[in-house]
């Protein structure tokens, strides 16, 4: 058993995915060990909450396990597939949260625990700006949005992003420059960027 796990760890991601397609849970564990850290980092930076990020990563890897047979190496590396799935699950999490009807503050007793009005106004403004940023990101072409999210939410360098997405580093920098320019224009129009 130990020898089997060691030999699995020596396999490339694509080879592990072939085993995952056959239902090999140990191969999937090795993939999780390799990519779970960066996946959590991305989820945490997007969600801002450890518990929510853990839920997002769990949902993402569960869906990856179920969809293992749909992985297509011609569309990118396993890592980019994992991070794209985490990104999508985080967005789904935001959508689910915003779709929930708000309960009555008086009934829950939460009204007494709210911060003073000044802090609440600052928090409302911060959330509004964050929402406008998410909307502006959603308008970007996928290839530009992906590199920006990996850099700013994932904390990856240009070089790391280039390796993950199997692109030249210059292409990553170009996409980042174009995307950030478009974001600046969009956010300036809505008054977020002075």
- Please choose, from the candidates 76, 47, 69, the residue with its C-alpha nearest in 3D space to the C-alpha of residue 59: 47
Q: What angle do CA 60, 69, 82 make, to 5 degrees?
A: 30
In a domain, 103, yes or no: no
Mean of per-residue pLDDT scores for the chain:
79
Q: Is 2 left (phi over 0), alpha (psi -120 to 50) or beta?
A: alpha
Backbone angles phi, psi at 11, to 5 degrees: -75, 150
**With a threshold of 0.85, does the pTM exceed it?**
no
In tens, the pLDDT along 12-54 reads: 998 999 898 888 999 999 999 999 999 998 888 888 788 888 9
Taken in order 57, 54, 180, 189, the sign of the CA dihedral is positive
- Of residues 46 and 169, the one with the higher pLDDT is 169
Does residue 7 register a pLDDT over 50?
A: yes
Q: Mean pLDDT throughout 56-64?
A: 90
Q: Mean pLDDT throughout 74-79?
A: 85
Pair 14, 88 in one domain: yes
In a domain, 22, yes or no: yes
Distance separating alpha carbons of residues 65 and 59, to the nearest angstrom: 10
Contact 77, 161 (CB under 8 A): no
Contact 177, 145 (CB under 8 A): no
DSSP string, 114-132: SPPHHHHHHHHHHHHHHHH
Q: What pLDDT is attached to residue 106?
A: 43
Pair 155, 73 in one domain: no
In a domain, 132, yes or no: yes
Pair 93, 127 in one domain: no
Q: What pLDDT is attached to residue 42?
A: 86
Domain with 130 in it: 121-194
Distance separating alpha carbons of residues 172 and 144, to the nearest angstrom: 8
Count the domains in the chain.
Answer: 2
End position of a domain, from candidates 98, 113, 131: 98
Pair 62, 128 in one domain: no
Pair 14, 69 in one domain: yes
Please return the burial class of 53, using the count of CB atoms within 10 Å of its CB with bins 0-12, 13-18 and 19+.
buried
Distance separating alpha carbons of residues 62 and 49, to the nearest angstrom: 20
End position of a domain, from candidates 98, 113, 143: 98
């Amino acid at each position: 058993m130990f020898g089997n796990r060691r030999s699995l760890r020596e396999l490339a991601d694509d080879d592990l995915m072939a085993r995952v397609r056959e239902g090999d849970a140990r191969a999937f564990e090795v993939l999780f060990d390799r990519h779970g850290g960066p996946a959590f980092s991305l989820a945490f930076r997007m969600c801002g909450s450890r518990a929510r990020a853990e839920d997002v990563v769990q949902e993402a890897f569960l869906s990856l396990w179920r969809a293992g047979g749909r992985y297509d190496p011609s569309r990118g590396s396993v890592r980019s597939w994992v991070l794209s799935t985490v990104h999508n699950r985080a967005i789904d999490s935001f959508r689910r949260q915003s779709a929930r009807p708000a309960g009555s503050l008086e009934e829950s007793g939460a009204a007494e625990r709210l911060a003073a009005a000044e802090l609440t106004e600052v928090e409302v403004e911060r959330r509004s700006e964050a929402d406008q940023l998410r909307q502006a990101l959603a308008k970007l072409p996928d290839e530009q949005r992906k590199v920006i999210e990996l850099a700013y939410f994932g904390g990856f360098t240009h070089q790391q992003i280039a390796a993950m997405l199997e692109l030249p580093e210059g292409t990553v920098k170009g996409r980042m420059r174009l995307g950030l320019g478009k974001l600046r224009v969009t956010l300036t129009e809505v008054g977020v960027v002075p």
